[in-house]
Structure 1
């Protein structure tokens, strides 16, 4: 990635020059290259009273494809390539080409052929991206979009119309929500979020899911009309848009043969029709929970072919955390360990 994708070249030159000046504990002055037009992204840096480098900000690309200035004053002015950040891999590529480099966080490989100057620093990490999470709960529509981003990070690059099709939300609503999320730093416009940002977003979403979104999904409890029916729940033929979550999904995704203590099911079917189809009757303390689907349905295939379809493991985990059952909390830990360590490292 080009350094100039994060900083204007002039700003980047100044940041890297000051960082390298601190590392070397000596003054570094910057000046134009002179009459030869090397471009706005090139400066002459003088280190102390003798050593000079031709500092340049490269165009985007890997080290082997760098677009470098065609002019150099002399062999006494070796090239110094300037970046906002040089990863270990990029540093290795640059050193293999014999190209000196320095970045804004302190990584540097600087070698001057006419002097004894030699600086090697690699391993300084890029500063963690700050996430400006709002103090108040986000509206339900915002939470719906954030959920889709968490389970499908690549949709951050989609247009508002494409997102509307994915989420079944009106394009005007999606556009309004996106503007708000981008302004709050919760959505990266045209870029897939980093693992750190996804982790922070996932933590935020889990903390607010119950009060902000879940309680608006027409949650109602039922019991089985035939008490013995729950022992054969896994043989039910679910309608196309129905997905298990909570304990029922966890039992399938963790390949547990026991009957769950409670059942959570998402569907867009009319509630009375769905309850009749499944053989359920309303009961305020029932162990079957029906909710309206709020997400784009991408079922997670269970580990054993032929088992019922399940919601994404992240939503299964969220529903387990919302449950008051001790069995749900134990299953949540197992789901996290098996499916969510990349999204939510321990």
Structure 2
């Protein structure tokens, strides 16, 4: 297999592409050549182009690369370039693979599992064992501090032109992290410089939001989850919206219901700065590993500390709903994005 590397591609994306294509070649005997890897502007072209050569045919693919993909709503757009489209990912959950196959969406994961169908080529592999391993992104941008930093600037874009100390305070991260995170964001093409009049601003915002949503679900959310619980009074699930929210905020399906009046929540998500024992007493909760109530630590600072809002910021509600497997949650997420984010 031939690779012609470009320094424009993220190193970890190159690793994902190499691992997946090498495994596919080993399993099938095809030859795979990397024609191009990396582009300067994330929204303009595919991440790479490859050629898969079987005994009879050669097929040119435009490739989009992801660490993991959890939701059909976050699928890369199929590009009309003359080449076939192929999604290459480190990890894709089984239910999503089935969905992708049902809509004839070509994919390949790091274990070699794939659905690739063109007029000249058909490969379907679904028996390779894969573990949910995630390749960490280069640097700190897609780790905990970076995700908090991204959340701050996505909800308050003006921060990009503020002193580093103020950015650190708003994002609740160490001051020493800000310069490096901002540098990584510029390198990936998500922060652009508009000169003296406009200053720094976010570029390719929609793609950045979706990348943040995926990374939040995979990396930050598990670290701030305090546990699962249930109401002692089972009837409380029917009156959840009447609870006093002074010590917490509703996230997930509850936030979706309050922001759009479209969703009836089945899972209850609470973000708080209080110890969980305080909320357990206040809301009359008991621990339950299978409970439908989650308590998570609030990781951001309120934009207006003196004004209480009953829901988390719209960006966080969107992220939680769009990365779920429930189609109604995803539809609610799109409504939130349209009304509060776009």
Tell me the matched-pair count: 206
Query: Do 1:299 and 1:311's aligned partners in 2 also have CA atoms closer than 8 Å?
Result: no
Q: Counterpart of 1:316?
A: 317
Selected match of 2:185 from 174, 181, 190: 181
SS in 2 for 1:284: coil
Give the structure with the higher percent strand: 2
| Residue aligning to 1:208 | 215
Task: Output one character per residue of 1:196-239: Cα deviation in whole Å (capped at 9) or x when no partner.
Answer: 52222112212322112212212521111111122221121123
After TM superposition, give the deviation of residue 259 of structure 1 in Å. 5.0
* Matched-pair contact (CA < 8 Å) for 1:299–1:310: no
- Give the Cα–Cα distance (whole angstroms) in 2 for the partners of residues 150 and 250 of structure 1: 19
Alignment-derived partner of residue 142 in structure 1: 146
1:232 aligns with 2:226: no
| CA-CA distance at 1:318 after TM superposition | 0.9
* In the alignment, structure 1 residue 243 sits paired with structure 2 residue 249: yes
For the residues of structure 1 that align with 2:331 and 2:187, how far apart are their CA atoms? 38
Query: What CA deviation, in whole Å up to 9, does each residue of 1:167-213 have, x standing for no partner?
Result: 2222223344334434444445793425x522221122123221122
Task: For 2:148 and 2:246, locate their aligned partners in 1 and report how far apart those are by CA, in whole Å.
Answer: 23
User: Do structure 1's residue 274 and structure 2's residue 279 form an aligned pair?
Assistant: yes
How far does residue 293 in structure 1 lie from its aligned partner after superposition? 1.2
Native 8 Å contact 1:249 1:310 kept in 2: yes
Which residue in 1 is equivalent to 2:298?
Answer: 293
From the CA coordinates, give the structure whose radius of gyration is larger.
1
Note the residue ranges of structure 1 that are not aligned, 5 or more in a row: 1-127, 301-306
**Aligned-partner Cα distance in 2 for 1:280–1:330:** 30
* Cα contact 1:321–1:332 (8 A) shared by 2: yes
User: 2:104 aligned with 1:193, yes or no?
Assistant: no
Aligned to 2:113: none
> Which residue in the other structure is 2:132 paired with?
none
SS in 2 for 1:193: strand
Listed one character per residue, the Cα deviations across residues 17-75 of structure 1 (whole Å, up to 9, x for unaligned) are xxxxxxxxxxxxxxxxxxxxxxxxxxxxxxxxxxxxxxxxxxxxxxxxxxxxxxxxxxx
CA gap 1:186/1:336 in 2 versus in 1, 3 angstroms: closer
Give the secondary structure class of the aligned counterpart of 2:296: strand
In structure 2, the residue corresponding to 1:294 is in which secondary structure?
A: coil
What CA distance in whole angstroms lies between the structure 2 residues aligned with 1:224 and 1:278? 7
Relative to structure 1, is the Cα distance of residues 246 and 163 closer, same or farther in structure 2, using a 3 angstrom cutoff?
same
Check conservation: 2:148, 2:172, Cα contact below 8 A. no
Task: After TM superposition, list the pairs within 5 Å mapping 1:1-346 onto structure 2.
Answer: 130-131=41-42, 136-137=136-137, 138-188=142-192, 191-194=199-202, 196-240=203-247, 242-255=248-261, 260-298=265-303, 309-340=310-341, 342=342
Q: Judge conservation of contact 2:214–2:323 (CA < 8 Å) in 1.
A: no
Quote the offset at 1:131 in angstroms.
4.1
> Structure 2: 5+ residue runs without aligned partners?
1-38, 48-65, 68-135
